């Protein structure tokens, strides 16, 4: 791989011990994937922040990087942590876990990382533009950045994203290159999809279809007349979870779609399949629900506004977590949504989510509008699930 003088110096340890290690990781990655050079990145999103996933070994690795002089050279934000950093007691988090989680955040802070913990960095200021090279690790955000924003990133892992932050570079391969962004499979949708739950179900259906194909496809999805940001973030989370997708094109909605003609190979998705997919994601009856959560991916301000409208003057009867980014919650505080929501008994689980928080064994059945949350609620925590629309989820909490 061709390296610039600056990159060679990093590799030789002339910047810091941490930068040398980071450049070694990137060179190894680039060699595996046949990259000829590095590309500068302007934005990084690091995953692997929850102590529940990192454990002691992960915390030690991060502390060593910080001790070794590691400093973020570009705008870098974090994925959700295992708890609300300011209000972990209300979530029932143990003091031992909280202490270790705080040490993780401290290590990132020492590296100059912006410690907003969210999977929707694009809603809170880490918002790359069309064609910008970035290095993001969070499958839903990667898919959103590539597809909806038209930025360019591979699906980074925690260490490779951190390495990109500490050097400002990533190897130029995969989705950084124009020739690898063309669609290869047309998905014709002949079903009503519009909100977070139906687009989430569509993401699952397409993702699973892609998994059964011998080739890793980039889908070109037709038949979607319009989709709001909130529905697109739900779709991205779902298609990334169930199909490993990092990029799709949707004519009339995503910015690169107009550069391509629909690929000849085609799959049609009909209403009956979508209904069946939704049905299969629910194995819990309404009476079994003891945990309700909205905010996978993290809620936008518009969604919080809707929630405040639905919960005004009401009292919830089940544990109800609202998961969002701290900057979004701070705006909700200012305009009074937080007060209205908290008066209902619902809890803001800011900086975290129902998947990365350590809640195994605490609940039996989850109600959510998120196809991704359904997947992990079972896979990680063995919860039963009920998927329904945003408004119906709120109704579950009030029952």
The length of the chain in residues reads: 399
Asked if 236 is part of the footprint of ligand F3S (rule: CB under 6 A), the reply reads no
In the complex, least distance from residue 68 CB atom to ligand F3S, rounded to whole angstroms: 28
Asked if 353 is part of the footprint of ligand F3S (rule: CB under 6 A), the reply reads yes
Among the listed ranges 9-17, 216-224, 255-263, 348-356, the one in contact with ligand F3S (CB under 6 A) is 348-356
Distance from the Cα of residue 215 to its chain's centroid: 24
Instruction: For the chain, state the CA radius of gyration.
Output: 21
Subset of residues 56 to 95 that bind ligand F3S, contact rule: CB under 6 A: 79-80
β-pairing verdict for 169-171 and 38-40: antiparallel
Q: What is the DSSP letter of 74?
A: S
β-pairing verdict for 219-222 and 114-117: unpaired
Asked if 326 is part of the footprint of ligand F3S (rule: CB under 6 A), the reply reads no
Asked if 294 is part of the footprint of ligand F3S (rule: CB under 6 A), the reply reads no
Among the listed ranges 90-98, 278-286, 295-303, 390-398, the one in contact with ligand F3S (CB under 6 A) is 295-303
Q: Give the DSSP letter string of 259-280.
A: GSPPPS-EEEEEHHHHHHHHHH
Asked if 209 is part of the footprint of ligand F3S (rule: CB under 6 A), the reply reads no
In the complex, least distance from residue 171 CB atom to ligand F3S, rounded to whole angstroms: 25
Asked if 372 is part of the footprint of ligand F3S (rule: CB under 6 A), the reply reads yes
Q: Which of 75, 83, 164, 237 binds ligand F3S (CB under 6 A)?
A: 237
Q: Rounded to whole angstroms, what are the CA distances from 257 to 40, 199, 379? A: 25, 18, 34
Question: Which residue's structure tokens are 């533009």?
Answer: 129
What pairs with residue 114 in β-bridges?
77
Asked if 374 is part of the footprint of ligand F3S (rule: CB under 6 A), the reply reads no
Rounded CA-CA distance 15/122 in Å is: 30
In the complex, least distance from residue 233 CB atom to ligand F3S, rounded to whole angstroms: 8
Q: Which of 323, 328, 350, 381 binds ligand F3S (CB under 6 A)?
A: 323
Residues that bind ligand F3S (CB under 6 A): 79-80, 119, 140, 237, 296-298, 323, 353, 355-356, 372-373, 376
């Amino acid at each position: 791989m061709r390296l610039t003088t600056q990159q060679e110096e990093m590799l030789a340890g002339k910047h810091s011990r941490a930068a040398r290690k980071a450049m070694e990781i990137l060179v190894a990655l680039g060699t595996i994937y046949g990259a000829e050079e590095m590309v500068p990145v302007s934005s990084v999103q690091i995953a692997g922040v929850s102590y529940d996933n990192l454990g002691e070994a992960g915390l030690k690795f991060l502390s060593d990087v910080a001790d070794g002089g590691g400093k973020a050279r570009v705008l870098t934000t974090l994925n959700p942590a295992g708890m609300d950093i300011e209000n972990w007691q209300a979530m029932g988090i143990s003091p031992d876990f909280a202490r270790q989680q705080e040490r993780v955040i401290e290590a990132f802070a020492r590296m100059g990382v912006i410690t907003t913990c969210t999977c929707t960095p694009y809603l809170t200021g880490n918002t790359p533009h069309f064609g910008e090279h970035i290095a993001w690790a969070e499958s839903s955000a990667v898919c959103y950045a590539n597809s909806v924003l038209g930025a360019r990133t591979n699906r980074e892992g925690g260490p490779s994203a951190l390495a990109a932050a500490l050097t400002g570079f990533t190897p130029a391969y995969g989705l950084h290159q124009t020739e690898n962004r063309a669609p290869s499979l047309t998905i014709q949708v002949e079903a009503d999809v519009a909100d977070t739950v139906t687009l989430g179900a569509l993401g699952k259906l397409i993702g699973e279809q892609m998994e059964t194909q011998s080739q890793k496809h980039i889908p070109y999805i037709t038949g979607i007349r319009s989709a709001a940001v909130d529905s697109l973030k739900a779709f991205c989370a779902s298609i990334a979870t169930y199909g490993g997708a990092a990029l799709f094109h949707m004519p009339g909605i995503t910015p690169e779609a107009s550069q391509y003609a629909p690929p000849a190979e085609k799959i049609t998705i009909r209403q009956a399949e979508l209904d069946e997919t939704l049905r299969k994601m629910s194995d819990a009856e309404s009476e079994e629900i003891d945990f309700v959560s909205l905010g996978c991916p993290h809620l936008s301000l518009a969604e919080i506004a809707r929630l405040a409208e639905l919960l005004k003057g009401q009292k919830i009867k089940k544990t109800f977590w609202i998961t969002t980014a701290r900057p979004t919650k701070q705006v909700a505080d200012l305009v009074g949504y937080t007060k209205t929501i908290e008066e209902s008994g619902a809890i803001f689980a800011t900086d975290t989510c129902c998947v990365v928080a350590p809640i195994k064994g605490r609940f039996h059945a989850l109600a959510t509008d998120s196809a991704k949350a359904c997947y992990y609620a079972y896979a990680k925590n063995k919860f039963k699930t009920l998927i329904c629309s945003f408004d119906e989820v709120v109704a579950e909490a009030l029952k």
